[in-house]
Structure 1
Amino acid sequence: MSWPVVSSRDLHRDGWVVALREDVITRPGHPDEFSRISLEHPGAVIVLAVDDAERVICLRQYRHTSGQEFVELPAGLRDAGEEPAVETAKRELQEEVELEAAHWQLLLSTYASAGISDEVHEIFLARGLSHAPRGDFEMRHEEAEMERFWVPMADLLEAVLEGRVRQGPLAQAVLAYAVLRQRGTLDAR
């Protein structure tokens, strides 16, 4: 159940991705008003692409907000209207690392930071990988500097558990994969 919104005002809105909004709200049954900042976001997909040798395709990418490079998985914004999340994931895998996958499984659907944003991450497992040229997609800005590399799943899991890899969606994907594999509930492809 949503709490009552007394008023709302845009602090920023663009035609690309997001809006930053200030809402004045009340708790149900209480007259006291208070404000909260909300980041409207279309959501994102993240792809854990695992080859037959149990290696994961990773990217090293600079992120301006944190001023750091991160080890990440292929990912992208849900910016294509009503396109199903798996189709966005397929497009991002091809554009970012020139791969396609024969088998797809949704691992997780999580809120990125529910205290400030409505951004949802749809995290997919991609198996049955093969080369797929990116076509006319042009890598620009930070993407133009991304380094692509393969990491054994066991090594990536250790890096997450030891805190050497701290990017949230990658950690969630790797941990979900490990748990589902242990349970025997991963698609057997």
Structure 2
Amino acid sequence: MTLVLTAPANWQFQAGAGAATGAGNISVSSTVVTGTTITITYTAGANLTGNKITISGLLVQATAQTVLASANIVRSATSTGSIAGVSGSTNFGSLSQIGGAYVKLQLLLPGETAAPATVSGKTGTPNTPVAGTQFNVIVNAVDANWNVTASTNTIAITASNLNVTLPANAALVAGTKILLLL
């Protein structure tokens, strides 16, 4: 029998990473992990008590260039194994994206948008500021892949233009702060 699990949209498995083991009357003969599926081939005895399949060493990566909402790994319709209590929508694991360790600050000007997992960490073109007009800048504490981290560091903005009015030093809240410049 086979149990096939699929990666949710915008997520991928690392091919070759991960292995399944059986317990009770389940014996796993192979585990194949591709970018989109985990295929477990197994046999099961008649006694259902204590039966389980454990997957370990699985590596999962977000593929979208934005922070993703949580998603579930579910059983594929191509599975041939019949498992009590398992349907096509059974959740085999929830995925959620978290930022790594804080490594740098990101400054977003009006016209720019954060874009984690890209080379520059942002998209768009900064708007040209108009003299004497206030505008907001966003400061983010980010990891190596431009994901916002939960830093509470205090930041300060400096400028070489003597006519700009700068905000006071401020602490980041959950890794971000919007500052008003004039």
What TM-score bracket applies, with the shorter chain setting the length? under 0.3
Return the structure number with greater helix share.
1
What is the TM-score of this pair, normalised by structure 2?
A: 0.25
Q: Which structure has the bigger radius of gyration?
A: 2
What is the TM-score of this pair, normalised by structure 1?
A: 0.24
